[in-house]
Copies of this chain bind each other. A is one copy, B any other.
Amino acid sequence: MQKQETLTKNQKIILDIIEKSSQPLKAYSILFDVKKKGINAPLQVYRALDKLVKIGKIHKIESRNAFIACKNSKCQIANATIFSICESCEDVTEIHDHKLSEHLRDFKDNKGMKYNKYNLEFFGLCKKCV
């Protein structure tokens, strides 16, 4: 625990919006929403997003170019994310599976690469869409 409480005004505004959404939000849709709060330019959004990703408050869904809040209250886990994505309704859920996480954390390839992060996205059809 160090400085994750000290978000700036813009960062708070953006985090707030993302946390209120159960689903990933795109940068420009966030921008649209925060115009009324005085955030006018894409860069202001992207800067806040970058920071929030860095400190683990949100995650980027790479295959969708969208951002979702980390539900894990103590998260800090900017570096190990697993998501399931429904290809029909686009519902995204963060997966917390201890065993799988362990496997990924412990993975070693045979090339001496030093890993500090991974991102895993599962695709398929959710219950509703099957």
Q: Are A109 and B84 in contact (CB under 8 A)?
A: yes
| A3: Cβ under 8 A from any B Cβ | no
Number of interface residues of A (CB under 8 A): 30
Q: Are A84 and B115 in contact (CB under 8 A)?
A: yes
One digit per residue, 1 when the CB lies within 8 angstroms of any chain B CB and 0 when it does not, for chain A 101-130 equals: 001100101011111111111111111001
Q: Are B114 and A124 in contact (CB under 8 A)?
A: yes
Q: Complex: how many Å from CA A115 to CA B125?
A: 6
Assembly stoichiometry (copies) = 2
Q: CB within 8 Å of B: which residues of A?
A: 62-63, 84, 86, 93, 95, 97, 100, 103-104, 107, 109, 111-127, 130
Q: Complex: how many Å from CA A118 to CA B103?
A: 16
Q: Can you list 26 A-B pairs with a CB-CB distance of less than 8 A? A: A62-B62, A84-B109, A84-B111, A93-B111, A95-B109, A97-B107, A100-B104, A100-B107, A103-B103, A109-B122, A111-B126, A111-B127, A112-B127, A113-B126, A114-B125, A114-B130, A115-B123, A115-B124, A116-B123, A116-B124, A117-B123, A118-B122, A118-B123, A119-B120, A119-B121, A119-B123
